[in-house]
Chain A
Amino acid sequence: MTFLAIVIDGFIYASWLFIIAAGLSLIYGVMRILNMAHGSFYAIGAYTVASLAGWYWSAGLPPYGGIVLMFVIALAVGALVGFVIERGVLRFLMDRDQIVMVLVTFGLLLMFEDIIKLMWGVQSYYAPEPYSLFGSTDVGDLVFVNYDLAMVGVAALVAFLLWFGLNRTRQGKLLRAVIHDRELAITMGINVRRLFVITFSVGAALGTLAGGLVAPAIAVTPGIGIEIIVLAFAVVVTGGLGSIQGALVGSILIGLARAAAVNLYPELELFVIYGVMALVLIFKPRGLFALASTRKI
C-alpha cells in the first residue's frame, strides 16, 4: 500500500511539474531563452481561472461547462500574453547573449508581479468547486481526489501532443531544425521569427494551463509565480535544458522522490528535490536528455 501511495502521489505531483516544465523547456529548446517570466505565466493562469471560473461557479451555471471554461481561459490567456511578450519585447533582443535574456525575463517576472497586484489586488482568490466536482477514489484505506488523478491524464495528453507536434507535423519538423541549428535553418528559408512567436505562445500557454489547473486546490495569492519558478528550473535542469522528454523524466523522478520522502523519511522532503538534481548532474552535467549541440568552427 505504501508503494502504491508513493507512486500515485508521485505521479500526481509529477503531472503538475511536467506541465509547467514542458513550457519552460520548449521555449529554451527553440529560442535558447531561460524564461524566468514563466513563473508569471503560471500565476496569471491561476488568477484568471480563479476569478473567471470562480464567477462561473457562483453564477450557478452547469458545473462541467466550468471545466471546459478553465481550459479555454487558461490556454487563451497564456497564448495571448506569450504573443504580446514575444512581439513586444523579445523579438527586439533575439540575438543577445543568453545571460541578457535571463535578466530581461527576470525583469518581466518582477513587472508581472506588480501588474498582477494592480489587476487582482493582494487578497487571496478561491475557486474550490472543480476540485471536488469529480469526487474521489478509494485505494485501500486511502482516498484520492479524482481531479488530481485527472491531472495525470492531462499531463499525459500534453506530453503526447508535444511529441506528436514536434515529430509528426511539418511545423514540428521545422522547429526541430531550428532547435538543431538556428543559423542553418534560417539559411534554408525557415521563417524562424514566426516559429518563435508560435513557440513562445505555446510555452506560455502551458505555464498558464498549469496555474489554471492548480488554482482550485490552493489559495491564489501574489508570489505563487516566484515560488514555482525555482522548482520548474530544478526539473528542467535535471532532465536537460530544452528537452521535452527530459522534462517528463525529470518531473517523474522528482515527483516520485518527493512522495517517497514525505511517506518514508519526512525530514528529507526539502532536500530530496535538489538532491535528485545534484545526483543527476554529478553523472550527467548537462542533464539526463541534454540537447546535442553542434560544434561550430
Chain B
Amino acid sequence: MHTKTRLRTLSALILASGMMAMAQGAQAQDPLKLGLISFYSGPVSGPVGIPSRNGADLIIEAINNGTLPAPYTAAGIGGRQIETVYVDEAVDPVAEYRNAVLRQGVDAVVGYASSGSCLAVAPVAEELKTLTLFYYCGTVRTFEEGPKEYVFRTMNTQDVENIAAARYVLATRDDVNTISGINQNYGWGQESWRDFSKSLQQLKPEVEIKSELFPKFLAGQYGAEVTALSRNKADLIHSSFWGGDLDALILQAAPRGLFKSQTGLLTTGGTALNTLAKQIPDGTIIGVRGNGGILAPDSDFNDWFRAEYEKKYGEQPTFPAYYMAQSVLALKAAADKAAAESGSSAPDMEQIRAALKGIEYDTPAGKVSLNRHNGHQAATELAYGTFKLVDGKPTLENVIRYQPNCVIAPEGAKSLDWIEAGFPGAQCD
C-alpha cells in the first residue's frame, strides 16, 4: 500500500472514530423513550389505567428534574431525560407493542395491567430484545412457563395476594368455614380463585366451597350472580374482580346486602375505596395487590409521593399509581446502579438490563426486591385490611402485613406446587 493511501485510510479511520465518539456523546444526551402502556380507555381506565399513568408521570417528572427524594438524587436515567410514549392497552396489545418498539423507537416499556396482555407480549419483548417491565398484571405463567431475558415484573404475582388473603382470613376470621367465589372468566379470575381456595383449604382443611361463579369479563350485570350467591350462603365471598366489573358488583350487591350477610373479600378492592365507600359494608376485607395506596407503609418517600400526587391531581393516589411508579423507579435504580458499577455516567440499555437482575430498591411503598425467577420477578410486602367507614371516610383496620418469605414460593418452586405441598419453608413469624 502506498504511503499516501495509508495516510488517507488513517485519516478516514480517525475521522470515523471521532464521529462515532461524537455520536455516542450525543446519544447520552438523547432522551430515553419510555413506552407507558396501560388501559387509557375502556372500563379499566378509570380505576386502574389513569391513576397508573398519573403515578408514573409524577415520578418521571421528578426524575427529569432531579427532585426525587433520596436515595435518588441525580437527574435523569443515566443522565438521559425520559420522554414518554403513551400506548393504550385496550387496543391490540401485541400489535401496539411492536408499533411502539419498531416504529416509535421506544428504548424500554413499562406496562400492562391485564394478565392476557402480559402473556401475549412477553414472547414479543424477547423477540425484539426490548427491556420490558410489567407493572401490574398478575399471572404466574409469565416466568413459570420459561425464563425471560428482557422481561421483568416489579410487583407480586396474583398467587401471592391470594395466599396472603387466605392467611388473613385465618388470622382475623376463624369462624369462616364456608366460602364462595365470584371471579372473572379468564386466567386472572380462575387462577385467583384456585389459589385462594386451595390455600385456605390447606391452612384449614374443613373449609367447604359453596359456589364458584365465573361471569364473563366486562359483563356489567350481576343480578343473577348476586341471587345465586345469596341462595347458597357462605361465610365469605372471594372476588378478584377489578376495574369497572368490581365497581358494578359493589353497586349491585350493596342494596341487596350481599356483603353484609356474607363477608366480602375483595382482593383489588382498594381502587373502589374513594369512589364507592358508602356502598362497601364495614367488615369487608380489602386488598391492594401489594402494599400500595391506602396500605402503603409510612415513610418519608411515601409522604412525599402522597403530597405531590395530591398537589398535582387533587386526590390521594390509589394503589395502581404506586405500582406503575415503582416500575419506573426500577429503571432509575438500575441505571444508577449500572452507572456506579461501570463508572460510566451514561450506562446503555444493556447495562441497565443487567443491573435490573436481582435489584433491591426503594419505592413509596417500601423496598422492592427482584429476587424471584432469576432476578426478574419482584417479591414485596403485601397487606390486607378490614374496611370501616369512619366519619364518612374509608379506613382499613386490623391491617396485617405479610413479608415475602411468608406468602411467596421460594426461588425455583412453582407456586401451585408450593400451595399444594402446604407452603414448605414459609416463614410467617
Please pick, from B43, B233, B256, the residue contacting A223 in the complex, using a CB distance under 8 A: B43
Residues in A229-268 with C-beta less than 8 Å from chain B: 258-259, 262-263, 266-267
Residues of B with C-beta under 8 A to A131: 251-252, 255
Residues in B223-263 with C-beta less than 8 Å from chain A: 223-225, 227-228, 230-231, 233, 244, 247-248, 251-252, 254-257
Indicate with 1 or 0, residue by residue over A111-127, a CB within 8 angstroms of chain B CB atoms: 00000010000111010
Judge whether B256 and A145 touch: CB under 8 Å: yes
Cβ of A219 < 8 Å from any Cβ of B? yes
- State the Cβ distance, B320 to closest chain A Cβ, in Å: 13
With A and B bound together, what is the CA distance between A9 and B226 in angstroms?
10
Residues of A with C-beta under 8 A to B44: 221
With A and B bound together, what is the CA distance between A141 and B214 in angstroms?
23
Residues in B83-103 with C-beta less than 8 Å from chain A: 90
Cβ of B275 < 8 Å from any Cβ of A? yes
Please pick, from B49, B214, B218, B251, the residue contacting A266 in the complex, using a CB distance under 8 A: B214
- State the Cβ distance, A67 to closest chain B Cβ, in Å: 15
Judge whether A142 and B230 touch: CB under 8 Å: yes
Judge whether A143 and B218 touch: CB under 8 Å: no
Judge whether A117 and B231 touch: CB under 8 Å: no
Judge whether A136 and B47 touch: CB under 8 Å: no
Residues of A with C-beta under 8 A to B218: 223, 227
Cβ of A148 < 8 Å from any Cβ of B? yes
Judge whether B255 and A219 touch: CB under 8 Å: no
Closest to B260 in A: A143
Judge whether A221 and B256 touch: CB under 8 Å: no
Closest to B43 in A: A221
Judge whether A142 and B231 touch: CB under 8 Å: yes
Closest to A140 in B: B231
Judge whether B45 and A136 touch: CB under 8 Å: no
Judge whether B46 and A122 touch: CB under 8 Å: yes
- Known pairs A123-B45, A145-B256, A227-B220; A128 contacts B244 (CB<8 A): no
Residues of A with C-beta under 8 A to B46: 122-124, 219, 221
B interface residues, tally (CB under 8 Å) = 42
With A and B bound together, what is the CA distance between A126 and B252 in angstroms?
12
- State the Cβ distance, B41 to closest chain A Cβ, in Å: 5
With A and B bound together, what is the CA distance between A267 and B215 in angstroms?
9
Judge whether B215 and A12 touch: CB under 8 Å: no
- Known pairs A123-B50, A143-B256; A269 contacts B216 (CB<8 A): yes
With A and B bound together, what is the CA distance between A266 and B46 in angstroms?
29
Closest to B185 in A: A270
Cβ of A222 < 8 Å from any Cβ of B? yes
A interface residues, tally (CB under 8 Å) = 45
With A and B bound together, what is the CA distance between A227 and B212 in angstroms?
24
Residues of A with C-beta under 8 A to B215: 262, 269
Judge whether B221 and A13 touch: CB under 8 Å: yes
With A and B bound together, what is the CA distance between A270 and B279 in angstroms?
28
Cβ of B211 < 8 Å from any Cβ of A? yes
Closest to B220 in A: A218
Residues of B with C-beta under 8 A to A5: 227, 231
Judge whether A219 and B225 touch: CB under 8 Å: no
Cβ of A16 < 8 Å from any Cβ of B? yes
Chain A's interface: helix, strand, loop or mixed, by majority? helix
Residues in A118-157 with C-beta less than 8 Å from chain B: 122-124, 126, 128, 131-132, 135-136, 141-145, 147-148
- Known pairs A142-B227, A224-B43, A266-B212; A124 contacts B256 (CB<8 A): no
Cβ of A294 < 8 Å from any Cβ of B? no
Cβ of A217 < 8 Å from any Cβ of B? yes
With A and B bound together, what is the CA distance between A131 and B250 in angstroms?
12
- State the Cβ distance, B129 to closest chain A Cβ, in Å: 32
Judge whether B251 and A221 touch: CB under 8 Å: no
Residues of A with C-beta under 8 A to B227: 5, 8-9, 142, 259, 262-263
- State the Cβ distance, A143 to closest chain B Cβ, in Å: 4
Residues of A with C-beta under 8 A to B42: 122, 221-223
Judge whether B244 and A143 touch: CB under 8 Å: no
Indicate with 1 or 0, residue by residue over B196-229, a CB within 8 angstroms of chain A CB atoms: 0000000000000001111110101101110110
Residues in A167-187 with C-beta less than 8 Å from chain B: none
Judge whether A267 and B214 touch: CB under 8 Å: yes
Cβ of A1 < 8 Å from any Cβ of B? yes
With A and B bound together, what is the CA distance between A132 and B251 in angstroms?
9
- Known pairs A13-B223, A266-B212; A222 contacts B43 (CB<8 A): yes
Cβ of A58 < 8 Å from any Cβ of B? no
Indicate with 1 or 0, residue by residue over B321-337, a CB within 8 angstroms of chain A CB atoms: 00000000000000000
Judge whether A263 and B254 touch: CB under 8 Å: no
Indicate with 1 or 0, residue by residue over A2-17, a CB within 8 angstroms of chain B CB atoms: 1001101110110010
Judge whether B49 and A124 touch: CB under 8 Å: no
- State the Cβ distance, B149 to closest chain A Cβ, in Å: 34
With A and B bound together, what is the CA distance between A73 and B111 in angstroms?
39
Having A218-B252, A221-B43, one finds 7 other A-B pairs with CB under 8 Å, namely A122-B40, A124-B247, A136-B255, A141-B230, A143-B256, A223-B42, A259-B227
B residues neighboring A (CB under 8 Å): 40-47, 49-50, 90, 185, 211-216, 218, 220-221, 223-225, 227-228, 230-231, 233, 244, 247-248, 251-252, 254-257, 275-276, 278-279
Q: List 26 A-B contacts (CB under 8 A).
A: A2-B231, A6-B224, A12-B223, A122-B46, A124-B46, A126-B251, A128-B278, A131-B255, A136-B256, A143-B230, A144-B256, A145-B256, A214-B221, A217-B252, A218-B248, A219-B244, A219-B248, A219-B251, A222-B45, A223-B41, A223-B43, A259-B224, A263-B224, A266-B214, A269-B214, A269-B216
Ranked nearest first, the 4 interchain pairs of A and B with the lowest CB-CB distance are A124-B46, A219-B247, A262-B224, A223-B42
A residues neighboring B (CB under 8 Å): 1-2, 5-6, 8-10, 12-13, 16, 117, 122-124, 126, 128, 131-132, 135-136, 141-145, 147-148, 214, 216-219, 221-224, 227, 258-259, 262-263, 266-267, 269-270
